[in-house]
Structure 1
Amino acid sequence: MQLTKRIGVIVGVDGPVASVGVYNMSNASEIIWFGDILTGPKIGALLTINQNDVKIIASVITEKVIDQQNTIRSTEFDNRYKKDSINRVIQLKTRGVIIDNTFQVTSSYVPMIGNEVTLTTKKELGEIYSVDKTTGSINIGQSILENQPVELNINTFFASHIGIFGNTGSGKSNTLQRLYFDLFHSKYKNRIFQKSQFFIIDFNGEYTGKQFDIGDKKKVFTLSTRSAGDKVFITKDYLFDADILSTLFSATAATQAPFLKKAVSLFNEKYDDMNFEFGRFVCGTLKKILTSGSSANQDSIQDWIQSCKKYVQDGSIYSEIDKIQFNSTYENYYIDTTNGKMYFNAGSEGAISDSDWIGLKGEEIEKALSNYWKSSNRTPIEKLAVFLDFQKVHRTAWGKINRDYLNPLFHRIDSVFTSLTKVIEVVDDVEDKYDPVNVFSLVHTNQEIKRVIPMMLSKMFYDFQKENTTGHGITKTKHLIIDEAHNILNNQETNFGDTWQDYRLRTFEEIIKEGRKFGFFLTISSQRPADISPTILSQVHNYVVHRLVNDRDLRMLENTMPTLDRSSFQMIPSLGKGEAVITGSAMQIPVFVKIPKIKDKEVRPASDDVVLTDLWGIDE
């Protein structure tokens, strides 16, 4: 039996905190004991309280000295704080117990006055930091104080929502990469990519190179709104949803959203109709306007013609309809012909004769519009854009909706569609479109796409996973990883309106609240946890926290990390580069760990600090 180094005795107990009278004043940070280097009784160190056959494990939270011989009222001060006069007292907070060589967190055993305190041995540390390796684990680094290997159980850590936080340069990107790099190269590597998919939202382009290093199982989507780039795959049924589009276009609830809902519903109906003649459909609006007289808005004719010219640029087919005028006396439309005026009588809806329609070159216009719609080069997004344009004319021509209310909406639609067509390909099914590991780089996109694409992809992947597992059990998992997550999970975002903010937060709050039961897991990494929705942060199961110094960030984490005690929390601002505290459901106690930097520069995230002296060189 190994002898233990006795250092003191319990002299006071106040709930989970116990006071220890130390036998001597040694302040060695490390003590050599029977060939082992043990951590001395310093702040944060683990000590063992011996209670019969039970070993209560506690950590040092404070230390001080007291005068045993004199008091403040004493007139003899020359003995105060001398060797024979003072004693060292430390306070411990209980972390758990070791029973039958197994560490567990329980409140069944508490320190009692008279219990002897010893340094925690290497064997005991091994029992404290041990994980169930029979189900698989990865090594994340070494504990800072004890240099003890720290293992993470794959089941309890990766089958959970994970939060990685830290200031710029603290090592959080390296940690994110290290966690999944080691997972992908674990003993389960041959089966991981058959049963799981990983989606990485990369705002800064840090993971587009050899990161994760898994060969042909990784696909990088480099999106760009500045030049030609890759496109992500979105299902038609998902994109052409009135609620999603209303959110994307920031449609107002009173007028714009109802218009979109009706127009998109009609579009979906017509889009799937193989016999749909788009030209005839929208020219029906023109005929109705011409035969409606004064009941139609006089601007509607020009609105319709301008919409048509926007998509069909053949000027020759407009030679006749450009001549259309309105006679205010008779309240009807007409055109001047070589044979005199040709009137379109009000009240005769749809009664334009075939010859008059041919004279207007209506058949040519119908054919040109239908050809535009049926063109193999026409994307679904372009079809939706032209459909909405003509629906706007139709819905405003008779005053059902004030056109001034819809104009701001269409300015936003034009802007969003211009960007979306550069980065989205609409497909019927995405089952075979994505690889086991997918990186979506948004570094070359505008702010509009940066806010839209992550939300759309996340919602789509989550909905598919939810649909595939409901009632069937979890046979496959999906893992969504968002780097710089404050860009999309910011609960204070107001630039795009309340509708957008509410929908975005509802989407991610549902994912983080319900995703685990469907096998959908979220990992978020951020340098500004205070900017992330508290609801989302509170649902994170495991935290890896690097150095943070901002008071708002620290207060936010203090309120959302129930497993981290005050003394451990106070150490966060003083953590060094690569150092972090890991706490949560996968850890029995919070562990301060040094996470080694990935050596291969090509495999590391593209976030290394610039070495200016290497960049500038030396002047000769």
Structure 2
Amino acid sequence: MTNPSKKLGVIVGVDGDVSEVGMYHMSNDAQYIWYGELLTGPKVGAFLTVNQNDIKIITTVSSEKVVDQQNTVRSKEFDNRFHKDSINRIITLKTKGVIEEGKFQVTSQYVPMIGNEITLTTKLELDIIYGVENDEAAIYIGKSILEGQPIKIPINKLFASHIGVFGNTGSGKSNTLHKLYLQLFRTKYNKSIINTSQFYVIDFNGEYTGEEMFGVDASDKMIYEIATNKDNGIKLPVKKEYLFNADILSILFDARSATQVPFLRRAINLWNEKKFDGDGIAKFVVGTIKKILTSGDAASSDAKDNWISVANSFINNDSLFNELKGLEYHSQRKAYMYMNDGERKYINDKSDMLHEDTVYLNLNQIQDQLSRTFESNNEIKKLKMHLDFQKVHQTSWKSTNIEHLNPLFSRIDTAFSSLEKVIEVVEDISDKYKTLNIISLVYANQEITRLIPMLLSKMIYDEQKKVVAGKEVTKTKHLIIDEAHNILNADYRNSGDDWQDYRLSVFEEIIKEGRKFGFYLTLSSQRPADISPTILSQTHNYLIHRLVNEKDLRMLENTMPTLDKSSYQKIPSLGQGEAIITGNAIQVPIFVKIDKEEKNRPSSDDINLTELWSKKL
């Protein structure tokens, strides 16, 4: 037999989904013991049940006040004295949904009516509201703040979606992010997850590099500590086609749109078209010097010396270039000349170079040396060699001013020096990554920190699309970005320069289209207002810790349709580890105290200064 419910009052006013309750008693007990159950009293934020025949309308308390029935501020008798039957307590309720036939659903089919009685929401009703279907797989995340009710989130509705975890520093968001996936790997699906899914964690602060992080065995986990200050670190495997991409290199090199971006596009298109080997590129670049020497005044005056300078940087043999350096330009005949056995020789203008000129200038030996140098280099140095010669090639005939490209090449040198330390260029990545891949960027410089997340994200997203497009999804990829505002800041977007928009475009495509390909994004940030609104609005489930910045709060209010006003107003007052969970995975916003792991948690705890300063040296 079901225990009777504790009756509290009756509906005295209805306005849309907001109702007023006249309470039977002035009792303000925070909790009630009712038939052995400890139930939450009618305080702001708590659930109350409106009984309408067999339907139970579930509401939350949004405000309360007292009304003096006998005295008013206009009455002469008003003296603030309390009379037993004078003061009435009025509670305002916000309708959340209904329980019908043992199931909770959000619907506008039923609304409270004047005269409906209000009762405390029982443990059984709370189980229905917070619970999941009996056969639905879920993870335990913590307990509800007001009722202490265990909170489980359905696995399918949460992890097959884009997730946002937001909160100020010290609010507990890093612990929450880790807890979500730790609980997932603790489920009975662990082995199947390892066989069918991959997880990539972009960790800007090195918080998730501990051995036990996420509860994944070392054999199924890889930690990439991307360090630009040392040469012997673990390098991130990157497929050649993604690194040697004009858009990506333009961002890496901070190329200017007027001249530098077109130069890079031409150079990279040629690189991808020709697929140079040593012999191929050597023949191409020696062909450039031959063309310079036979172009007369069509070539710029410094083209020959520029070519020699680049070639000499790759061939450590100055004597090979003595004859080239000794060439003189005859302005009247518009041709280069040299002395051979006392005889003046002219290199023919606008015609193929003679064999004897080639022999005299050591061009065959230079070509052979360049071929060997190219073959002995890694992929990044090969591309660097190609770009250096392309600078000469594209500026030798005055179509491009070399002065416009020199600043770009100073940045290229710096960027390639960093890239060589952190990237391994490979043909295929299908067997390069493990189930859990943590990419720590705490030791990376600014250029690499900006590049790696975008490069990795585009690469694994495109690879997933290739596998899944037009087929059933049998494998999934999950990209987790901590401190996401570092790379998803819409303020950096510069309309009109397409390549500057590339970074955000990559992530906007992922968050718009990723679900259909089994690619899911989890974002964590202390500044949600800095994240592109397009990206934020496409997020399906949110775990929100304490936020106090007005700009952040407005952004959440504008982009989260499932967050009601009363829940929104509580965000600034949440304690450490407390969060509001809202979104597609649950039917109503839930205030939860996220369980904190004692040992296996991110290295993001606040530093205890007095403990540190108390240690004996």
TM-score (norm 2): 0.96
Moved more, 477-486 or 74-83: 74-83
Query: Judging changes above 3 Å, is the alpha-carbon distance between structure 1 residues 431 and 507 closer, same or farther for their aligned structure 2 residues?
Result: same
Question: 210, 223, 229: which is aligned to 1:226?
Answer: 229
CA contact (8 A) 1:50 1:115 kept: yes
Q: State the match for 1:281 in structure 2.
A: 284
**Deviation digits for residues 230-286 of structure 1, max 9, x if unmatched?**
211111122222333334334444433333222212212332x66843222211111
Q: State the match for 2:74 in structure 1.
A: 73
Query: Judging changes above 3 Å, is the alpha-carbon distance between structure 1 residues 494 and 314 closer, same or farther for their aligned structure 2 residues?
Result: farther
1:327 Cα offset (Å): 2.3
Moved more, 222-231 or 581-590: 222-231
Q: State the match for 1:369 in structure 2.
A: 370
Question: 299, 307, 311: which is aligned to 1:308?
Answer: 311
CA contact (8 A) 1:133 1:153 kept: no
**Deviation digits for residues 30-62 of structure 1, max 9, x if unmatched?**
111111111010000000000011100000000
Q: Does residue 288 of structure 2 align to residue 291 of structure 1?
A: no
CA distance in 1, matches of 2:313, 2:493: 33
Q: State the match for 2:216 in structure 1.
A: 214
Question: 328, 336, 339: which is aligned to 2:331?
Answer: 328
Q: Does residue 42 of structure 2 align to residue 41 of structure 1?
A: yes
1:619 Cα offset (Å): 6.8
1:340 Cα offset (Å): 4.6
Aligned residues: 613
Q: Does residue 263 of structure 2 align to residue 259 of structure 1?
A: yes
CA contact (8 A) 1:70 1:80 kept: no
Query: Judging changes above 3 Å, is the alpha-carbon distance between structure 1 residues 318 and 79 closer, same or farther for their aligned structure 2 residues?
Result: closer
SS at match of 2:490: coil
Q: Percent of pairs identical after alignment?
A: 58
Q: State the match for 1:7 in structure 2.
A: 8
Moved more, 114-123 or 75-84: 75-84
Q: State the match for 1:268 in structure 2.
A: 272
Q: State the match for 1:245 in structure 2.
A: 249
SS at match of 1:549: coil
Question: 602, 605, 609: which is aligned to 1:605?
Answer: 602
Question: 220, 228, 236: which is aligned to 2:240?
Answer: 236
Q: State the match for 1:351 in structure 2.
A: 353
Which letter does structure 2 place at the counterpart of 1:105? V
Which letter does structure 1 place at the counterpart of 2:228? T
Q: State the match for 2:138 in structure 1.
A: 137
SS at match of 1:187: coil
Q: State the match for 2:198 in structure 1.
A: 197
Q: State the match for 1:460 in structure 2.
A: 459
Q: State the match for 1:562 in structure 2.
A: 561
CA distance in 2, matches of 1:460, 1:69: 73
Query: Judging changes above 3 Å, is the alpha-carbon distance between structure 1 residues 71 and 496 closer, same or farther for their aligned structure 2 residues?
Result: closer
Which letter does structure 2 place at the counterpart of 1:125? L
CA distance in 2, matches of 1:619, 1:419: 40
Q: State the match for 2:612 in structure 1.
A: 615
Which letter does structure 2 place at the counterpart of 1:372? T
Query: Judging changes above 3 Å, is the alpha-carbon distance between structure 1 residues 188 and 72 closer, same or farther for their aligned structure 2 residues?
Result: same
1:297 Cα offset (Å): 0.5
CA contact (8 A) 2:105 2:587 kept: yes
CA contact (8 A) 2:278 2:375 kept: no
Which letter does structure 1 place at the counterpart of 2:252? L
Q: State the match for 2:542 in structure 1.
A: 543
**Deviation digits for residues 83-105 of structure 1, max 9, x if unmatched?**
33111000000011111111111
Query: Judging changes above 3 Å, is the alpha-carbon distance between structure 1 residues 315 and 495 closer, same or farther for their aligned structure 2 residues?
Result: farther
1:564 Cα offset (Å): 0.9
Mapping for residues 419-458 of structure 1, pairs under 5 Å: 419-458=418-457
1:591 Cα offset (Å): 0.2
**Deviation digits for residues 311-335 of structure 1, max 9, x if unmatched?**
2222222222221222223322123
CA contact (8 A) 2:278 2:371 kept: no
CA distance in 2, matches of 1:522, 1:615: 38
CA distance in 1, matches of 2:176, 2:437: 19
Moved more, 380-389 or 156-165: 380-389
CA contact (8 A) 1:256 1:406 kept: yes
Q: State the match for 1:582 in structure 2.
A: 581
CA contact (8 A) 1:549 1:573 kept: yes
1:124 Cα offset (Å): 0.8
Gaps of 5+ in 2: none
CA distance in 1, matches of 2:406, 2:230: 28
CA contact (8 A) 1:491 1:501 kept: no
CA distance in 2, matches of 1:205, 1:250: 26
Gaps of 5+ in 1: none
CA distance in 1, matches of 2:280, 2:93: 80
**Deviation digits for residues 408-456 of structure 1, max 9, x if unmatched?**
3323322322222221111110000000110111110111111111001
Q: State the match for 1:488 in structure 2.
A: 487
CA contact (8 A) 1:167 1:548 kept: yes
SS at match of 2:309: helix
Q: Does residue 486 of structure 2 align to residue 506 of structure 1?
A: no
CA contact (8 A) 1:11 1:21 kept: yes
CA contact (8 A) 2:542 2:583 kept: yes
Q: State the match for 2:186 in structure 1.
A: 185
**Deviation digits for residues 331-371 of structure 1, max 9, x if unmatched?**
221234552543323233x2232x33222222221111010
Which letter does structure 2 place at the counterpart of 1:151? K
Moved more, 459-468 or 429-438: 459-468
CA contact (8 A) 2:464 2:519 kept: yes
Which letter does structure 2 place at the counterpart of 1:570? Q
CA contact (8 A) 2:161 2:521 kept: yes
CA distance in 2, matches of 1:384, 1:449: 18
CA distance in 2, matches of 1:81, 1:567: 31
1:126 Cα offset (Å): 0.7
CA contact (8 A) 1:250 1:497 kept: no
**Deviation digits for residues 510-537 of structure 1, max 9, x if unmatched?**
1001101111000000000010001110
Which letter does structure 2 place at the counterpart of 1:352? L
TM-score (norm 1): 0.96
Moved more, 205-214 or 122-131: 205-214
